[in-house]
Structure 1
Amino acid sequence: EAINFYQKEIQKHGGMVKEDKIAVEDKNHIIFLISLTDKIIREKENDDFYAIFATSEENILRAKEIVKKTIKELEEKGIPQEIKTFPGELEISKKILKTYDDKAIGLSTWPEVNPKTVKDKIKLILSQEKKPIHFKDITEMIGNLPQKKNLHPQTIHNELIRNQEFVLVGRGYYALRDWGYNPGRVRDVIYQALSVSENGLSKDEIVNFVLDQRMVKESTVLLNLQNKKFFKKDKEGKYKIKEV
């Protein structure tokens, strides 16, 4: 009777299922029961696949072929691919994982799918949120990742400071440099804006440029602009870099 029950459960999953889906409790007892029948096949875990229950060898081969094809497609694409559902056939593979938001799949070796370093985890959070985030919030979000590894905020902050892929854009707020943010203080951002302008820029143009790059108050921009050691204003009211 128990064998028939598990056989039906496996059939519900298309004749092949990852062992953990069926053997949730009393795992060893279930494995022993299944070993007594030829109606259910158990394939042991290996480097590429988790343990599998199936009603036939054909079902296992079919699932592995789907996995092989999916891995090849992912390798060709090079980035995670969006999915609506995660097929049971892919659940048996150790090389394919869902992204932490369950919206896409990718290879387990990809940092955006399976982040292992602190840097990878920060990049994953920022990429998913698509906006600058305070380092304390980044720390909290990392704590909610599937790995469930809690890191100290200072550990996150140190990585954000030392790694050039991240840019400080406000008090404690960081963004990805890939988004077009450039490192440096507010004064450096003003200098950058003026360095590509032949005829200088108005106060409003400079303020708008800086506020696109930094989460600061307008008064902070104006205060930096008044530094006569670095900037000068012409008769038309436009600002330029003061020549040394």
Structure 2
Amino acid sequence: MNNKTEKKNQRGEFSFIEAVKSVTADINSRARDILAKRFGFGEKKGLTLSQIGDEYGITRERVRQIIQESLNKVKKKAKTDELFQKAEEIARFTVESEYGIIAKEELKRNVLAEQEKEYNFVDFIVHCSEELSEIALKDKIREAVVLNDFDLSRWEHLHSVAGEILKKKNEAIKTGHFCKEFSQESEIDFAEDEFLSYLRVSESIQRNVFDKWGLREWREISPKGTRQKAYLVMKEIGRPLHFREVADLIYKLGLNKKEAHPQTVHNELIKDDKFVLVGRGIYALKEWGYRSGTVKDVIENILKSKQNPVHRDEIVKEVLSVRDVKKATVIINLNNFFEKRDSRLYALKKNNK
């Protein structure tokens, strides 16, 4: 049975909302409402202490006291509340399946799928749990949930070694290669699943849409703006692309939340000399050996690099390797702008030499 099936079986039709209702049932209604506003039950996020205080006409400190008193009561009842314990069991099982640590958002997605209205109820269960803890370390671990006996030093060892590998490579690495490199460098053995599970909560080491890992600030990992996103797409696809295809891939790969407008992409490609127009709306990367210029310019450069006249077929082959045009287009340019010799040989016209 795989993890996803096990998680589904663990949860069944269980409701985290009902678990929270049960464990907070003995608190007076005002305190319960204040807890709901603070934790954002049914909302995207909770209110600040000041916002709650303004709503009830009490001080920020008094709000904090009410919340703390209420949480103390909840934690006491949680020890015997069956629904709370079931919710805690589901959350704990999910964290255990990720080797003891999981990003908060991933935990909520795993136990609730698309039921976002319950997300903050999960936060509340974790907050009141005696078996789980919330953790976040600046530049290391984003908001995560861990088992109380989680070995943080083991995670820090993995994170440090992985970071050094990336700095040394100075380029994004495919998952399989990264795992292999790590196993050779680490003094502690890690299963591949554990390695990846630990990295998924990292703040500074992240994976891009092409399953490559790198440092968060690298353009390959967190591209900013249309040009960087277009460059990443073209580099990974590895062949010239029409600007409309680039725009489509930027959106489909999740690099943009909204659809990228083709004309916007086209305009950005034109402005940047990293991209070379090689056909009608088709662009390639300059680093692949492409150079800017018309078909005529390309032929001219080919002939200038040769000491003797060049056969038509060789010229056509070289042009088509760097330009996405029809063979007829190359031949028309040859006949119009260059000197034809015997046996389909071509050379520069005397005034072009």
**2:218 corresponds to:** 110
**2: CA distance, partners of 1:217 / 1:27:** 56
Deviation at 1:87, TM superposition (A): 1.1
In the TM superposition, 1:1-244 aligns within 5 A as 1=85, 2-24=87-109, 25=116, 26-44=118-136, 46-56=138-148, 58-84=150-176, 87-102=196-211, 104-146=212-254, 147-227=256-336, 230-235=337-342, 237-244=344-351
Alpha-carbon distance between aligned partners in 1 of 2:120 and 2:244, rounded to the nearest angstrom: 43
Closer, same or farther: CA 204–33 of 1 in aligned 2, 3 Å: closer
CA distance in 2, matches of 1:30, 1:72: 35
Per-residue CA deviations over 1:43-89 (Å, capped at 9, x if unaligned) read: 14645421121123652332233122211111111111111467111
- Alpha-carbon shift at residue 235 of structure 1 (Å): 4.9
Give, as a single letter, the amino acid of the residue that structure 2 aligns with 1:74. L
TM-score by length of 2: 0.63
Q: Is the 8 A contact 1:191 1:241 kept in 2?
A: yes
Note the C-alpha offset of 1:34. 3.1
Structure 2 letter corresponding to 1:233:
K
Paired residue secondary structure (1:193): helix
Give the C-alpha shift of residue 135 in structure 1.
0.8
Provide the TM-score with structure 1 as the length reference: 0.89
Q: CA offset at residue 123 of structure 1?
A: 1.0
CA distance in 2, matches of 1:18, 1:61: 18
Aligned residues: CA RMSD: 2.2
| CA shift for structure 1 position 99 | 2.1
Structure 1 residues 148, 31: CA separation in 2 closer, same or farther (over 3 Å shift)? closer
What is the count of residue pairs matched by the alignment? 241
Larger radius of gyration: 2
User: CA–CA distance in 2 between the matches of 1:7 and 1:238?
Assistant: 76
> C-alpha separation between the residues in 2 aligned to 1:184 and 1:67?
47
CA shift in 2, pair 1:52/1:180, >3 Å: same
CA shift at 1:196, angstroms? 0.5
CA contact (8 A) 2:100 2:150 kept: no
Structure with the bigger percentage of helix: 2
Query: Percent of aligned pairs with the same residue?
Result: 32
